[in-house]
Structure 1
Amino acid sequence: MSKRWPTSRDRAEREILPLNLSLYHAARDYPGGGKAIAAIYGVPATTLQHRLNPNADTHKLTVDDLEYVLEASRDTRILDSLLALVPGAHWFEYDEESSECSEQQLMESVAKLSTQVGNLLTRISEHRRDGVYHEHEVAELKKLKYQLFGSIKALVVVAQQFEGEVRHG
């Protein structure tokens, strides 16, 4: 039985990718692709697509390209890639629309955190079976760890909001 070599799409789901690859995948997965993003911002579609191509050495991404793809796609892989460059930095998405915090929201945050902890422990257990951590396994565990840290921060924010609603007496 042969082992299938992981595609870049497989890697994008399991690992934190280098920034150029996360931008490429975000644009490719956006409805209409890079052409649609270029149309939104009024830039030449061919130029943007060449810059996003990870195999094109003659075209380099600019900060503007990063902004266009991130703003249009809101793809979390880009944020993961950016913050992987800064040790100890993590991000979480804060939902400003739900300024009121309920006990239900708090419980949902705890449930999400528990699921992520369980997923991380399951993957660690699976990767330890052979006694060797391979590079792709370490990359996957690192991504799960960063997601877990983001969920912890989100839980703290929700808990602090809920704290203000507690009534004594």
Structure 2
Amino acid sequence: MNILDTLHAVAHAYKGGCESLAPRLGMSAAVLRSKVNPNTETHQATLMNAVQIAEMADDDRVLEAWARERGYALVKMPNVEACSDAAIVELMGEAWSTHGDVGSEICKTLQDGRVDMKEVDHVEKKIFKHAQVLFSIASRLRGMAE
């Protein structure tokens, strides 16, 4: 999903939708709906609008979509107090799971002998998710270092 589609989804997924989110951003619901509609050219969301929407919604999907479009994987920095052996074990389990998700998605993609861009996008999402988990493990270990 591209950044504009993601911004639209985040705004509409906010509890109460645009009608509830817009006043918190200092605009009308109609203006917000227009700004986040990727098919509207008359109103366009600014970078600050996107940041405010993401912050207000406590939703990182816009940031993740932008990073993915630029070829990056985001890693949420761990809370150093939450770093423990148990947290590492939990992340290792998640890493094994996401690794399996990558393999499953690749198998599904190759099943019919053809590969299309939508399938590549699905594989790429699984790979990015797996990379995020691996980088989180490294970050947690760094947080545990004495």
Q: TM-score, normalised by structure 2?
A: 0.90
1:124 aligned residue: 106
1:144 aligned residue: 126
1:92 aligned residue: 75
For 1:59-104, what per-residue CA distance to the aligned partner results, in whole angstroms no more than 9, with x for missing partners? 21112210121101232321222112323x22122342x5242211
- Which structure has the greater CA radius of gyration? 1
Please say if residues 28 and 34 of structure 1, whose CA atoms lie closer than 8 Å, have aligned partners that are also in contact. Answer: yes
Q: Distance in 2 between matches of 1:28 and 1:45?
A: 11
1:7 aligned residue: none
Aligned residues: 146
Aligned to 1:56, the other structure's residue is in SS state: coil
Q: Which moved more, 1:63-72 or 1:102-111?
A: 63-72
Q: Of 143, 149, 153, which residue of structure 1 is paired with 2:135?
A: 153
Aligned to 2:51, the other structure's residue is in SS state: helix
2:21 aligned residue: 37
Aligned to 1:99, the other structure's residue is in SS state: helix
Please say if residues 48 and 65 of structure 1, whose CA atoms lie closer than 8 Å, have aligned partners that are also in contact. Answer: no
1:23 aligned residue: 7
Aligned to 2:81, the other structure's residue is in SS state: coil
- The yes-or-no answer on 1:112 pairing with 2:94 is yes
Q: Distance in 1 between matches of 2:24 and 2:54?
A: 12
C-alpha displacement of 1:47: 0.9
Q: Distance in 1 between matches of 2:58 and 2:90?
A: 23
1:11 aligned residue: none
- The yes-or-no answer on 1:76 pairing with 2:60 is yes
Q: Distance in 1 between matches of 2:48 and 2:85?
A: 41
Letter in 1 for 2:116: H
1:65 aligned residue: 49
Q: Distance in 2 between matches of 1:76 and 1:61?
A: 17
Matches within 5 A, 1:2-17: 17=1
Q: Distance in 2 between matches of 1:101 and 1:122?
A: 30
Structure 1 unaligned blocks of 5 or more: 1-16, 165-169
Q: Distance in 2 between matches of 1:132 and 1:76?
A: 33
Q: Percent identity?
A: 20
